[in-house]
């Protein structure tokens, strides 16, 4: 067995292990004979554990090789002329460390959810969606083409939306899920359009044809115009997953889902999926200063917005949601500045810390209440935010802006949502009149 065959086998295990767990618990559930809680959680945990251990072994192997990238060809989906779509995976200095901590965090959340959701009616459904998310996340991270990346991106999006609406008997959860799903679908157009542009430019979605040597030393192999178009489309796609302005309204509402899914999605992995895609396509951003400038401006603006609004939240999970938004925004700024290793370290560190905080949040609330009772009242703040040094009038104005979440939702609703709905209503009315005319009716009745 050659070194390439060994690495290829380990890479396939990282993807196949959670996928097998998904099938093992999903098929019996579809047949109306779901497994018990112990079997369900055990199979999903084994899948994530196998993926994590395989990733750790691969990380050691790559380190001994100086992190020289290895491309794994799994299959060619179709080929038409000089256009082809192939299932290519990559093991390099970006994908392997990322899949290590993503599989490890999924394994941890699986263990936590096993007790947290004990005797919950949707127990099996949660673990099916968690396994789907883990499979999609590993597919996204290991992808060596924009086509495979898009498939993983969609698995992450649909599992995220369904877990936000996990408690479907609650109206707020369903509305929050629909809002997140709508935001995802709007921004997903960016990756889909970028895929079309890439195929048109190089005849394939393979990253190797876009920037040659893999991360972090790649160089764009396409024209500056193509790099700019693709980069801007990817930035637009990333805005939805990372909850950047003007698409940030869905993130605090996403906390309607169970605490374990909030930890793994909006504290750790899903919130950073857009940043990972931009890191992977860094060579294109290097040749697209307009996209980098947009990334820096939007990221900095969202960081300020989230830091301000997060200060006035009254529940712990909303505070953590805006804290995650702030850090995700700063990571995008770092990517826009042309940094590569620092954003990766930032992602890993923030994901681990934020997951722990969200998983700990129910216990933290209980501990805080006990502390308040022991102290005989509400404990004072440990420190003061610099805004307290501003004049009182400014503080009041900032407080009102923060309470209204920066007026973001009002502006988007009035300037975007309502005009689009009116346009769709008019289009529907025009379609009805056209169908009536084709059916032999006039505006006043039958001809």
- Which of 278-282, 315-319, 420-424 shows the lowest per-residue confidence on average (mean pLDDT)? 315-319
pLDDT tens digits for range 92-134: 999 999 999 899 999 999 999 999 899 899 999 999 999 999 9
| Terminal-residue alpha carbon distance, the chain | 79
Reply yes or no on whether the pLDDT at 137 is more than 50.
Answer: yes
Per-residue pLDDT, 374: 44
Average pLDDT, the chain: 86
Query: Which residues are 90's β-sheet partners?
Result: 71
* CB-count exposure of residue 5 (10 Å: 0-12, 13-18, 19+): exposed
- Which of 26-40, 274-288, 397-411 shows the lowest per-residue confidence on average (mean pLDDT)? 397-411
Per-residue pLDDT, 375: 43
Name the more confident of 135 and 261.
Answer: 135
Average pLDDT over residues 409-431: 85
Per-residue pLDDT, 398: 76
Sign of CA pseudo-dihedral 352, 305, 270, 29: positive
Reply yes or no on whether the pLDDT at 381 is more than 50.
Answer: no
Average pLDDT over residues 201-215: 84
pLDDT bucket at 379, cuts 50 / 70 / 90 = very low
Name the more confident of 355 and 229.
Answer: 229
- DSSP assignment of 343-387, as one string? HHHHHHHHHHHHHHHHHHHHHHHHHHHHHHHHHTSPPPPSS--GG
What are the Cα distances from residue 404, in Å, to 110, 253, 410? 36, 14, 9
Per-residue pLDDT, 56: 95
Per-residue pLDDT, 371: 45
Sign of CA pseudo-dihedral 167, 171, 173, 175: positive
Per-residue pLDDT, 366: 52
pLDDT bucket at 360, cuts 50 / 70 / 90 = confident
Peptide bond into 42 cis (omega under 30): no
How far is residue 220's CA from residue 227's CA, in Å, rounded to a whole number?
A: 8
- Which of 9-13, 210-214, 432-436 shows the lowest per-residue confidence on average (mean pLDDT)? 210-214
Predicted structure pTM score: 0.87
Q: For residues 176 and 165, is the Cβ–Cβ distance under 8 A?
A: yes
pLDDT bucket at 388, cuts 50 / 70 / 90 = low
pLDDT bucket at 380, cuts 50 / 70 / 90 = very low
Per-residue pLDDT, 86: 75
Average pLDDT over residues 414-429: 86
Q: Where do the structural domains in the chain lie, given as residue ranges?
A: 3-364, 407-446
Per-residue pLDDT, 1: 63
Average pLDDT over residues 225-234: 96
- Of 146, 155, 64, the residue nearest 102 (C-alpha): 155
Per-residue pLDDT, 370: 52
Per-residue pLDDT, 442: 56
Average pLDDT over residues 322-351: 93
How far is residue 288's CA from residue 338's CA, in Å, rounded to a whole number?
A: 11
Whose tokens are 């899920």? That residue is 177
How far is residue 257's CA from residue 253's CA, in Å, rounded to a whole number?
A: 9
pLDDT tens digits for range 65-95: 888 888 888 887 777 776 667 788 999 999 9
Average pLDDT over residues 178-185: 92
Per-residue pLDDT, 328: 94
* CB-count exposure of residue 221 (10 Å: 0-12, 13-18, 19+): middle
At 26, list the tokens: 């999903």
């Amino acid at each position: 067995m050659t070194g390439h065959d060994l690495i290829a086998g380990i890479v396939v295990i990282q993807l196949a292990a959670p996928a097998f767990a998904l099938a093992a618990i999903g098929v019996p559930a579809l047949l109306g004979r779901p497994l018990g809680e112990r079997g369900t959680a055990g199979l999903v945990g084994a899948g994530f554990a196998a993926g994590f251990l395989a990733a750790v072994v691969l990380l050691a192997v790559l380190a001994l090789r100086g992190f020289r990238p290895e491309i794994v060809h799994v299959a060619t989906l179709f080929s038409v002329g000089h256009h082809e779509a192939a299932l290519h995976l990559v093991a390099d200095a970006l994908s392997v460390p990322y899949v290590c901590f993503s599989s490890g965090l999924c394994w941890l959340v699986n263990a936590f959810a096993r007790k947290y959701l004990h005797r919950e009616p949707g127990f099996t459904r949660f673990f099916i969606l968690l396994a789907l998310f883990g499979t999609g996340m590993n597919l996204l991270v290991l992808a060596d083409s924009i086509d495979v990346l898009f498939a993983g991106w969609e698995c992450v999006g649909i599992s995220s939306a369904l877990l936000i609406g996990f408690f479907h008997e609650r109206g707020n959860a369903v509305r929050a899920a629909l809002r997140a799903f709508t935001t995802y679908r709007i921004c997903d157009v960016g990756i889909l359009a970028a895929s079309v542009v890439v195929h048109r430019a190089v005849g394939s979605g393979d990253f190797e044809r876009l920037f040659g040597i893999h991360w972090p030393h790649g160089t764009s192999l396409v024209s500056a115009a193509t790099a700019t178009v693709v980069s801007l489309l990817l930035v637009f796609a990333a805005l939805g997953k990372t909850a950047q302005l003007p698409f940030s309204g869905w993130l605090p509402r996403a906390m309607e889902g169970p605490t374990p899914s909030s930890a793994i999605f909006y504290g750790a992995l899903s919130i950073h999926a857009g940043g990972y895609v931009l890191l992977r396509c860094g060579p294109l951003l290097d040749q697209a200063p307009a996209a980098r400038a947009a990334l820096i401006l939007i990221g900095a603006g969202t960081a300020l917005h989230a830091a301000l609004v997060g200060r006035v939240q009254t529940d712990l999970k909303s505070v953590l949601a805006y804290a995650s938004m702030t850090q995700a925004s700063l990571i995008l700024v770092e990517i826009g500045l042309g940094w590569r290793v620092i954003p990766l370290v930032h992602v890993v560190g923030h994901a681990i810390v934020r997951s722990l905080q969200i998983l700990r949040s129910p216990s933290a609330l209980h501990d805080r209440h006990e502390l308040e009772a022991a102290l005989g009242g509400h404990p004072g703040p440990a420190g003061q935010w610099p805004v307290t040094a501003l004049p009182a009038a400014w503080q009041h104005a900032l407080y009102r802006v923060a309470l209204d979440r920066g007026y973001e939702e009002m502006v988007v609703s009035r300037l975007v949502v309502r005009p689009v709905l009116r346009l769709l209503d008019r289009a529907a009315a025009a379609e009805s009149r056209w169908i009536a005319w084709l059916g032999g009716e006039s505006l006043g009745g039958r001809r």
